[in-house]
Amino acid sequence: MSPPSRLAASARQALAVDALERPARKPIRTRLAVTIAGFGALAVAAIALAPLVGSTHISLSRAFDRSIPFADNVDAQIFFVARLPRVLSGALVGAALAAAGVVFQALLRNPLATPFTLGVSAGASLGAMLVLIFGVSLSVGPFSTVPLASFAGAAVAAGIVYRLATPYRRAMSTAVLLLAGVTLNSFFSALIMFAQYFADFAQAYRASRWLMGDLDVGSYQPIIAAVPLVAIAFAVFAMLPSALNVLSLGPEAAATRGVDVVRAQRLAFFSASLATSAAVSLAGPIGFIGIVVPHLVRLLVGVDHRIVLPASALFGAAFLVACDLGARTLLAPVELPVGVLTAMIGGPFFLWLLVRKG
Please report how close the Cβ of residue 234 comes to another protein at its closest, in angstroms.
25
Q: For 143, which DSSP code?
A: B
214 or 304, CB closer to another protein?
214
144 or 342, CB closer to another protein?
144
Instruction: Single out the segment in contact with another protein by CB under 8 A; choices: 2-10, 80-88, 237-245, 292-300.
Output: 80-88
Q: Does 217 bind another protein (CB under 8 A)?
A: yes
42 or 132, CB closer to another protein?
132
167 or 218, CB closer to another protein?
218
Can you tell me the distance from the alpha carbon of 328 to that of 56, in angstroms, rounded to the nearest whole number? 10
Please report how close the Cβ of residue 101 comes to another protein at its closest, in angstroms.
25
Q: Does 55 bind another protein (CB under 8 A)?
A: yes
Can you tell me the distance from the alpha carbon of 99 to that of 290, in angstroms, rounded to the nearest whole number? 7
Can you tell me the distance from the alpha carbon of 150 to that of 278, in angstroms, rounded to the nearest whole number? 9
Q: Does 352 bind another protein (CB under 8 A)?
A: no
Q: 4, 200, 258, 356: which one contacts another protein (CB under 8 A)? A: 200
Q: 77, 110, 173, 183: which one contacts another protein (CB under 8 A)? A: 77
Residues in 244-283 that interact with another protein by CB under 8 A = none
- Give bridge partners of residue 143 from the DSSP assignment: 140
Q: Does 32 bind another protein (CB under 8 A)?
A: no
306 or 328, CB closer to another protein?
328
Can you tell me the distance from the alpha carbon of 265 to that of 165, in angstroms, rounded to the nearest whole number? 11
| 153: nearest Cα among 245, 58, 260, 278 | 278
Q: 54, 250, 326, 358: which one contacts another protein (CB under 8 A)? A: 54
Task: Give backbone dihedrals phi and psi of 143, rounded to 5 degrees, phi first.
Answer: -80, 130
Q: How many residues bind another protein (CB under 8 A)?
A: 41
Task: Give backbone dihedrals phi and psi of 59, rounded to 5 degrees, phi first.
Answer: -90, 115
Q: 152, 172, 211, 214: which one contacts another protein (CB under 8 A)? A: 214
Task: Give backbone dihedrals phi and psi of 140, rounded to 5 degrees, phi first.
Answer: -130, 120
Residues in 106-165 that interact with another protein by CB under 8 A = 132, 135, 137, 139, 144-146
Residues with Cβ < 8 Å from 297, sequence gap 6 or more?
39, 98, 102, 308, 311, 312, 315
171 or 341, CB closer to another protein?
341
Rg of the Cα atoms in the chain: 21
86 or 266, CB closer to another protein?
86
> Cα–Cα–Cα angle for 232, 136, 340, nearest 5°?
60
Can you tell me the distance from the alpha carbon of 285 to that of 132, in angstroms, rounded to the nearest whole number? 15
Burial class (CB in 10 A: 0-12, 13-18, 19+), 69: exposed
Please report how close the Cβ of residue 193 comes to another protein at its closest, in angstroms.
11
- Chain contacts with another protein (rule: CB under 8 A): 54-56, 70-74, 76-78, 81-83, 86, 132, 135, 137, 139, 144-146, 197, 200-203, 205-206, 209-210, 214, 216-219, 328, 332-335
